[in-house]
Amino acid sequence: MTRILATTALALSAPAAALAQQYTDAGTFTLEGWNYDALYATGSWNVEDLLDRKVTGLTGEEIGEVEDLVFNDRGELLALVAEIGGIWDIADTHVSVPWQDVEIPNVGPVGVPVTEDSVDQFSVFDYSGLAGTEIGDKIVADVEQEALHGGIWRASDMLGDFVRIQDADEAWMNFGYVTDLVVQDAMIRATVVNTDPAIDGGVYAYPPYVGQTGTEAPANWVPHSATYDMPILRGDASTLPSFEIDKVGGQ
């Protein structure tokens, strides 16, 4: 993968707070002022381009690959989950590394401060929201299908989810599915949607509606929801130009 990440980041021209002010009683957001400029600027990156990227440990040796990313209910990036592939006399396993400790060069593998001696300090459960962690104490019967609590969720929970929007009569209609997330400054800045061929089969980036708790915007998605519901009217959603994922981050 050739995801290019830089340390310089630009602020979005339409932050979440501004979008929240555009929320109306009809349950919709307008897209006035929303554009892709900040998403195409240096410092932004997309989740799909990071998944499966090779991971090296503290000594520089290849130890596995990126499997997932962990976010909270405010859309903040908490940790990277890596699959460690049968090294150091341990079987295939997973580790979670706090995002502030992850190093992503312009090219090449992702770096994490994990060694054979420290691997046990990066338990994947640290950011799981499962019982026995500081995040939650709920007994989980089916780990794979259980929505993480404490406001914790994985990128893989959202990717591929069906998307709905509202028609002119404010009735929910099928629209497409989530294909990617754009991140900047360790925050989700856009949700990338491929529309259904019955719509136009295009690719568009919309403001994220995860992380809006406490604003006027409703929470329209939780892990393992049947759909990702965007509070946008069909007519407004069709006003955007096509989103070019290859331009994310100024590539």
Strands (E), the chain: 44-46, 54-56, 62-72, 77-84, 93-98, 110-111, 152-154, 162-166, 172-184, 187-195, 203-206, 227-233
Q: What is the pLDDT of residue 220?
A: 63
Top-level class of domain 48-153: mainly beta
Give the global pTM.
0.79
- Provide the token pair at 185: 């400054």
- Taking Cα atoms as reference points, which of 98, 102, 105 lies closest to residue 127? 98
Q: What is the pLDDT of residue 119?
A: 86
Q: What is the pLDDT of residue 16?
A: 37
Q: What is the pLDDT of residue 131?
A: 54
Q: What is the pLDDT of residue 139?
A: 46
Q: What is the pLDDT of residue 127?
A: 73
Q: What is the pLDDT of residue 215?
A: 42
Q: Give the C-alpha separation, 175 to 35, whole Å.
A: 20
| Residue boundaries of the structural domains of the chain | 16-47+158-250, 48-153
103: DSSP letter: B
Q: What is the pLDDT of residue 141?
A: 45
Q: What is the pLDDT of residue 129?
A: 63
Q: What is the pLDDT of residue 168?
A: 83
Q: Give the C-alpha separation, 168 to 57, whole Å.
A: 53
Residues of the chain with pLDDT under 50: 1-27, 135-147, 212-219
Q: What is the pLDDT of residue 176?
A: 95
Q: What is the pLDDT of residue 48?
A: 94
Q: How many other CB atoms are there within 10 angstroms of residue 186's CB atom?
A: 14
pLDDT single digits (tens) 130-169: 555 554 444 444 444 444 555 788 899 899 999 998 888 8
